[in-house]
């Protein structure tokens, strides 16, 4: 039976550490807020935004909600971001994606000051990550690293295959595994013989966005399997990119969905917010 990489437990551990840190900062008069902007009322986004607000409340940092109508213009959104960039109390700005089609996502992400870019999506944050300089790390990949490390999984020297090369998951995930001294291969939709490649992985990280795509045929016996995917199956239950029941008996460790990578993402967002507040001291 595989060891379960328990994101629910480890994310709580991280949030409790952050709660303590935020309280100590508050005692010294150092406080700040996370501004969360949602444009439109996409139901999934509403759930994500609510979870972020709840996490802020748990940790004891202020969250400011900006719920804008679907027809908000790009100019209006950029003006709000500019105002929040100038607002000293706001230490993090998060724009919930996806944005309505008439708004250029790239222009919006570029407008957020890198100092407040707690999602780690600004090109300056991405560049800093690539060359190993200080900057906010994107929350989902950083959460996977914490999940592995805090579960005692050795990364250095291991062959890691990451399936997916998106800017928010696959690419940064690969870079962070490289930073941890794994030997990394990035697979994508044009990869030849994906199954054979995945079978060579000591650590297989799946961020493909296809429900239960990865079956036992993709997994080497004893591999560590991390499932970043999140979907609803026809019974309305959450599932990942990995066929858990089939893969679990083969793996040495595996993330469940839900309760694996998902909660780690929010914990790392909170980590970035507290880090940003801490910088006020310096």
In the complex, minimum distance from the CB of residue 167 to ligand NAP, in angstroms, rounded to a whole number = 8
Q: Dihedral sign for Cα 271, 276, 277, 281, please.
A: positive
How far apart CA 113 and CA 137 sit, in angstroms, is 15
Q: Point out which span in 50-58, 148-156, 182-190, 215-223 binds ligand NAP (CB under 6 A).
A: 182-190
Contact call for residue 138 and ligand NAP (CB under 6 A): no
Binding characters for ligand NAP, 63-82, by CB under 6 A (x = yes):
--------------------
- Return the range that interacts with ligand NAP (CB under 6 A); candidates 58-66, 73-81, 148-156, 189-197: 189-197
In angstroms, the CA 124 to CA 25 distance is: 27
Cα separation, 58 vs 43, in Å, equals 23
Q: The tokens of 105 are what?
A: 């996502």
Does residue 259 belong to the site contacting ligand NAP (CB under 6 A)? no
Interacting residue with ligand NAP among 110, 168, 178, 280 (CB under 6 A) = 168
User: Residue for token digits 């060891």?
Assistant: 3
Q: Is 209 in the site for ligand NAP (CB under 6 A)?
A: yes
Torsion of CA 152, 126, 46, 32, to 10 degrees: 90
Is residue 101 among the annotated active site residues? no
Q: Does 45 bind ligand NAP (CB under 6 A)?
A: no
Other Cβ atoms within 10 Å of 230 Cβ, number: 18
Give the interface segment with ligand NAP, choosing from 71-79, 164-172, 176-184, 243-251 (CB under 6 A).
164-172
Contacts of 50 (CB under 8 A, 6+ apart): none
Cβ closer to ligand NAP: 78 or 97?
Answer: 97
Which of the following is catalytic: 15, 38, 52, 171? Answer: 52
Q: Does 163 bind ligand NAP (CB under 6 A)?
A: yes
- Minimum distance of ligand NAP from residue 24's CB (angstroms): 28
User: What residues have CB less than 8 Å from 179, skipping those under 6 apart?
Assistant: 132
Of 90-98, 117-125, 154-162, 226-234, the segment contacting ligand NAP by CB under 6 A is 226-234
Question: How far is Cα 244 from Cα 221, in angstroms, rounded to an integer?
Answer: 14
Return d(Cα 189, Cα 251) in angstroms, integer: 24
Q: Report cis status (omega within 30 of 0) of the bond before 98.
A: yes
Rounded to a whole number of angstroms, the minimum distance from the CB of residue 16 to ligand NAP is 20
Give the angle subtended at the CA of 196 by the CAs of 193 and 198, to the nearest 5°.
105
Q: Find the binder of ligand NAP among 164, 214, 253, 271 (CB under 6 A).
A: 164
Shortest-Cβ-distance residue relative to ligand NAP: 166
Binding positions for ligand NAP, rule: CB under 6 A = 140, 163-166, 168-170, 187-191, 194, 207-210, 228-230, 241, 261-262, 265
């Amino acid at each position: 039976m595989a060891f379960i990489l328990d994101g629910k437990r480890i994310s709580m551990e991280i949030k409790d550490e952050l709660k303590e840190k935020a309280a100590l900062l508050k005692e010294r008069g150092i406080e700040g807020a996370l501004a969360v902007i949602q444009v439109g009322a996409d139901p999934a986004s509403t759930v994500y935004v609510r979870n972020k607000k709840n996490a802020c409340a748990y940790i004891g940092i202020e969250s400011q909600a900006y719920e804008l109508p679907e027809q908000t213009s790009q100019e209006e959104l950029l003006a709000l971001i500019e105002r929040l960039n100038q607002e000293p109390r706001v230490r993090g700005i998060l724009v919930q994606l996806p944005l309505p089609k008439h708004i250029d996502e790239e222009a919006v992400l570029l407008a957020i000051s890198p100092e407040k870019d707690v999602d780690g999506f600004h090109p300056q944050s991405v560049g800093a990550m690539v060359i190993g300089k200080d900057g906010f790390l994107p929350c989902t990949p950083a959460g996977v690293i914490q999940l592995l490390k805090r579960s005692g999984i050795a990364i250095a020297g291991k062959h890691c295959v990451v399936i997916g090369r998106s800017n928010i998951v696959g690419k940064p995930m690969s870079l962070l595994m490289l930073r941890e001294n794994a030997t990394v291969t990035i697979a994508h939709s044009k990869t030849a013989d994906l199954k054979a490649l995945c079978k060579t992985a000591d650590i297989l990280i799946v961020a493909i966005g296809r429900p239960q795509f990865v079956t036992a045929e993709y997994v080497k016996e004893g591999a560590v399997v991390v499932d970043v995917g999140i979907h609803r199956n026809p019974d309305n239950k959450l599932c990942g990119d990995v066929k858990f029941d089939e893969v679990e008996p083969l793996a040495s460790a595996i993330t469940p969905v839900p309760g694996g990578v998902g909660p780690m993402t929010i914990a790392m967002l909170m980590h970035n917010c507290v880090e940003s507040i801490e910088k006020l001291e310096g």
